């Protein structure tokens, strides 16, 4: 799988991308469904190794991240109401803080799913979200590649996030400040 991920990383890094970017600031969250229209058939056929997998690769415009910057990425088999099938963090301590991703065996074979990005702290400029799926269809191995067009990635409205955070009970109150648990982080609010 590491060879495939490295190959995908090289293909993605050298392929042309749309010249648009998305600036994310602390608290921003993007939930991005994808489907068959986001992919093109890259290849297939015989080979010594034909893995069945789904993969997401996040690329930032920033070559390095300021200390304390944390971007959480998640991939879901269908939609974001399920448990993520993979998740990770991009931070300034990553060996390559501008690229991260994950692949999951036997995932996204129907060429659909959801990617969610949550900027826990700091600010970043999103460069691209690339996707890849290896699957068998009608007895033939197929490799599909694609991505999410940057103009289709929309930051979820803050009102929805605030409504969801308000529904989560407080942990405890300390000197007039309440600690809330939400989205895997603890946020202190007055």
First to last CA, the chain: 47
Spatial CB neighbours of 151, under 8 Å, sequence gap ≥ 6: 18, 20
Indicate the pTM of the whole model: 0.71
pLDDT tens per residue, range 127-137? 889 999 999 88
pLDDT at 168 over 60: no
CA distances from 16 to 12, 48, 54, 70, 124 (A): 8, 29, 22, 27, 21
Q: What is the CA radius of gyration of the chain?
A: 18
Average pLDDT of the segment spanning 7-24:
54
Average pLDDT of the segment spanning 163-169:
49
Spatial CB neighbours of 32, under 8 Å, sequence gap ≥ 6: 114, 115, 116, 117, 129, 148, 152, 153
pLDDT at 19 over 80: no
Asked if 100 and 94 count as a contact pair (C-beta separation under 8 A), the reply is yes
pLDDT at 7 over 70: no
pLDDT at 78 over 70: yes
Q: Where are the domains of the chain?
A: 2-156, 157-190
CATH class of 2-156: mainly beta
pLDDT tens per residue, range 28-70? 999 999 999 999 998 876 666 678 899 999 998 878 888 899 9
Average pLDDT of the segment spanning 164-178:
45
């Amino acid at each position: 799988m590491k060879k495939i991920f490295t190959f995908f990383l090289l293909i993605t890094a050298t392929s042309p991308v749309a010249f648009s970017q998305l600036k994310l600031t602390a608290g921003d969250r993007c939930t991005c469904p994808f489907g068959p229209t986001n992919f093109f058939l890259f290849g297939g056929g015989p080979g010594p190794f034909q893995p069945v997998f789904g993969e997401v690769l996040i690329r930032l415009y920033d070559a390095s991240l300021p200390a304390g910057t944390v971007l959480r990425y998640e991939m879901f088999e269908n939609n974001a109401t399920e448990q993520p099938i993979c998740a990770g963090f991009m931070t300034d301590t990553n060996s390559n803080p501008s690229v991260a991703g994950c692949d999951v065996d036997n995932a996204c074979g129907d060429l659909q799913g959801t990617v969610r990005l949550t900027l826990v702290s700091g600010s970043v400029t999103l460069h691209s979200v690339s996707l890849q799926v290896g699957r068998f269809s009608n007895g033939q191995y197929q490799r599909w590649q694609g991505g999410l067009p940057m103009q289709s990635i929309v930051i979820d409205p803050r009102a929805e996030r605030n409504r969801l955070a308000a529904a989560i009970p407080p942990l405890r109150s300390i000197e007039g400040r309440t600690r809330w648990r939400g989205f895997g982080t603890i946020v202190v609010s007055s």
